[in-house]
């Protein structure tokens, strides 16, 4: 078997994002991380939500599934239960994951399946022309909030920590090398791993630009952040100044959902024989 390259994970379809979109960087990061860890396309299942992030389904070569809006995580959980030998990744946006899919986000963290969740967080609904999302700042003006948003943005990192997340990180699409290391760590973590990736939308969000993030972000590891300390992670996640930490907030290991289901010990579900003849049931359904 030949060693994979980034081209191994590319299809014949070219991306259709706006020039300068942060999605290009995340697309590159995912390919590089998979190659660095030695994965082949047939080792990987990627479940996509609806939105600009979901358009990666056309450009990443692996087993891919484009699900309903806000629903990549339950589909990914089903895949992980069916064949826990596959590397299962869910990809979506902030509207998809923190709006329509917020309940799935919280409950999947609680269950702790062996899934990596990567969120393109651009603080808008980009595919539907820039309406406010759950992470939009107070005062953000859009077609849906012409006088400015009055809602406080949610804090995905704090939510993940509160729900019991074992690998909780934040990256930035303008910081490829650093974010790639976070994604690699997420893929290596056994259990639910989550990386919120700040991703500028150059078309509909002219506030949270690359320059805006460059001026406000810093790396947690440069400040000797203790990744096993939940209290320290919470303090960094809930800062009230204008600084935005990037990096691994919290990392602990706990039993995965799959490890606690006796039926999944040994062979994956998809390889196990049926215990009963379901032919009569099939005839009834037809």
Least confident of 89-93, 103-107, 265-269: 265-269
Q: Could you give the C-alpha distances from 106 to 64, 111, 157, 164, 220, in angstroms and in order?
A: 23, 9, 11, 9, 24
Q: What's the pLDDT score for residue 141?
A: 92
Is 2 a residue whose pLDDT tops 70? no
Q: What is the pLDDT of residues 161-211, one digit of tens each?
A: 999 999 999 999 999 999 999 999 999 999 999 999 999 999 999 999 999
The fold for domain 6-285 equals Rossmann fold (3.40.50)
Which DSSP letter does residue 166 get?
S
Vertex 234 angle, CA 76 and 77, to 5°: 10
The residue that leads in pLDDT, 196 or 275, is 196
At residue 139 the predicted structure's pLDDT band, cuts being 50, 70 and 90, is very high
Q: What does the domain layout of the chain look like in residue ranges?
A: 6-285
- Is a pLDDT exceeding 60 seen at residue 121? yes
Q: Does position 113 have pLDDT exceeding 60, yes or no?
A: yes
The answer to whether residues 93 and 53 touch, using CB atoms and an 8 Å cutoff, is yes
Q: What pLDDT band is residue 47 in, cutting at 50, 70 and 90?
A: very high
User: What integer pLDDT is reported at residue 126 of this predicted model?
Assistant: 85
Q: Report the chain's mean pLDDT, rounded to a whole number.
A: 93
pLDDT in tens, 150-163: 999 999 999 999 99
The per-residue pLDDT for range 82-99, each reduced to its tens digit, is 998 999 999 999 999 999
Question: 3-class DSSP state for residue 56?
Answer: helix
Confidence of residue 273 (pLDDT cuts 50, 70, 90): confident
Mean pLDDT of 47-70: 91
Residue 1 has pLDDT above 60, yes or no: no
What pLDDT is recorded for position 286?
64
pLDDT tens-digit readout, 237-255? 999 898 999 999 999 999 9
CA distances from 185 to 19, 126, 171, 179 (A): 29, 28, 12, 10
**pLDDT, greater one: 34 or 285:** 34
């Amino acid at each position: 078997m030949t060693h994979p390259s980034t081209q191994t994970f590319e299809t014949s379809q070219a991306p259709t994002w706006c020039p300068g979109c942060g999605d290009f960087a995340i697309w590159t990061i995912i390919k590089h991380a998979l190659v660095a860890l030695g994965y082949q396309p047939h080792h990987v299942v990627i479940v996509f939500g609806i939105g600009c992030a979901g358009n990666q389904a056309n450009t990443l070569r692996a087993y891919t599934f484009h699900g309903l809006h806000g629903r990549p995580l339950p589909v990914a959980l089903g895949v992980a239960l069916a064949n826990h030998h596959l590397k299962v990744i869910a990809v979506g946006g902030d509207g998809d994951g923190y709006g329509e899919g917020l309940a799935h986000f919280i409950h999947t963290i609680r269950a702790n399946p062996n899934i990596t969740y990567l969120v393109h967080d651009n603080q808008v609904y980009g595919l539907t022309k820039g309406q406010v999302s759950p992470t939009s700042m107070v005062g953000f003006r859009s077609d849906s909030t012409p006088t400015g948003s009055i809602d406080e943005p949610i804090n995905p990192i704090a939510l993940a920590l509160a729900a019991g997340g074992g690998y909780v990180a934040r990256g930035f699409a303008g910081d490829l090398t650093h974010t790639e290391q976070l994604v690699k760590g997420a893929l290596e973590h056994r259990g639910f791993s989550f990386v919120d990736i700040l991703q500028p939308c150059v078309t509909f969000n002219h506030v949270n630009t690359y320059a805006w993030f460059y001026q406000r972000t810093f790396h947690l590891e440069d400040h000797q952040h203790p990744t096993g300390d939940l209290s320290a992670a919470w303090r960094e996640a809930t800062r009230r100044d204008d600084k935005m930490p990037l990096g691994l907030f919290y990392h602990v290991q706990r039993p995965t959902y799959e490890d606690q289901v006796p039926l999944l010990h040994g062979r994956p579900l998809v390889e196990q024989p049926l215990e009963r003849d379901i032919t009569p049931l099939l005839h009834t359904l037809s």
